[in-house]
Each structure stands twice: as structure tokens, then as C-alpha cells.
Structure 1
């Protein structure tokens, strides 16, 4: 990823995903899987979601994307796909163009790589530990 290291990406996703109850898992190319119902091993749960909803399949909903401009968090964009909890960050210096199509295609390509390589770089476990009964 051009100009973005894992530490900066983790910081960025922490700011973007401000809900303190949301656990999430970050993959190598900037795709974040938000776990709305975290259960058991978060890495395993996120990997299963991304394995199914990350790879691009032309002519299917897996090829679709949306683009959200995130001016408040270092600039750049969040790319959505056919699963509402799978999001990919594209930094301002990455796309070859600034229009939504070029940015979205860059994010979709990154999501596809994450969905096929499945290399986790960070797990954010925000589940509260169970207290004494």
C-alpha cells in the first residue's frame, strides 16, 4: 500500500469506527470487516466473511461498490461492497484518478486481494469481558 503502514491504518479505522462496541479485523490491503455480532475467534469469523464477500465476481453483486469520501480522517475514501460490514480504505495517493469510478475500482481490487489472500494484520476486540455473576 502506498504511503500507509499498518499502524496508520489501525489508527484510521479506530477513528472511522468510533462505536466502542464494534469489534473489527483489518486485512493487509486495507479491508476492514466489522463484526456486529462477534463470537468466538474474531480472526476466524472475519476471515469467513471476507472469504465469501471479498473476491470480485464479474456480473454479480460482488462487482458492485460505493464510494464514501472521508475528509475527516486523513482524506481518502471508504469503499463499500455487497456486504455492509466489509469496508476498504483507499488513501488519497493511491488511485490513478480522483473520480468515484477510479477510486472505487482501486478499492474493489484491494478488497479482492484481501478476500483471496486473507492476511490479517490487526484484530480489534471490543467485546467487554464478562464480569462476576
Structure 2
């Protein structure tokens, strides 16, 4: 799948799931961080949460994840130990749709990549949308 198309689809999915109630930040590899506190800088919060909770360490809470199969849109929602970190895997990204665990493991791996890169592709504030495409300072 074309990366730009994938990001556009993920933005649409998160807009639909979160609505205007919280701010959220989407990273290059698909990790989404919710910022439920309107007083916080959502970009700073997201980078801080992902720096601390994003690296994958199997056998610890940093390696734990759960997933739920979704039907509208089709895919899986992956959740992690931190309640504000999510990944949505589109059905067309799944190599074996009947084996969602593999897709969830791939999502966890991509979360680890996002924790290293911290490259933001979209921020959505509860009152307005902005776009950012730059490496961390």
C-alpha cells in the first residue's frame, strides 16, 4: 500500500474514532497517541509518552499488547500497556487476515520504530487540525 494513502486512511479512521473530544498525534509508522488533557501540548505529550512507553521489550509491559478485530472499517485495533497508545492495522495491510496476531505483532514492531524516530505525520487538536512533517528538534 502506498504510504501516503495509508496515512490518509489512518487519519480518516482516527478522526472518526476520536472525533473532536481529544487531541491526537499520528506517527510515521501508524502509532497514534491520544492526548486527553486539553491543557497539555499534544506533540510534546505524544513524543514523551512514545519515548517512554514505545520501545518494545518482550516479557515486560512494554512488550504487552491486545488486539480487537474491527469491522467498520475492517482491520484490527492494537492497544498497549499505556492507555493512550494505539495502532490501527488496515485489513489490506494484513498478510494473513485469518491470523490477526501476526498483524498485531507487526504493529507492535512499528510502534518501536516510531519510538526511535518520533516522526510525526499528523496532529489533530480538539478544536482544529494541523499538519506537521518534521524530525524532532
- Identify whether the pair has TM-score above 0.5, normalized to the shorter chain: yes
* Structure 1 residue ranges, 4+ long, deviating more than 3 angstroms after superposition: none
Partner SS state of residue 106, structure 2: helix
Size of the aligned set, in residue pairs, is 125
Alpha carbons 1:95, 1:106 under 8 Å: kept: no
Larger fraction in helix: 2
Q: Which has the higher contact order (CA 8 A, sep 6+)?
A: 1
Structure 2 portions without partners, runs of 5+: 129-137
TM-score (norm 1): 0.84
Structure 1 portions without partners, runs of 5+: 129-133
What is the CA-CA distance between 1:7 and the residue it aligns to? 2.1
Partner SS state of residue 92, structure 2: coil
Which whole-Å CA distance do the structure 1 matches of 2:93 and 2:72 have between them? Answer: 18
What is the CA-CA distance between 1:93 and the residue it aligns to? 2.2
Which whole-Å CA distance do the structure 2 matches of 1:112 and 1:29 have between them? Answer: 9
TM-score (norm 2): 0.82
What is the 5 A alignment of 1:44-123?
44-73=44-73, 75-98=74-97, 99-123=99-123
What RMSD, in angstroms, separates the aligned Cα atoms of the two structures? 1.7
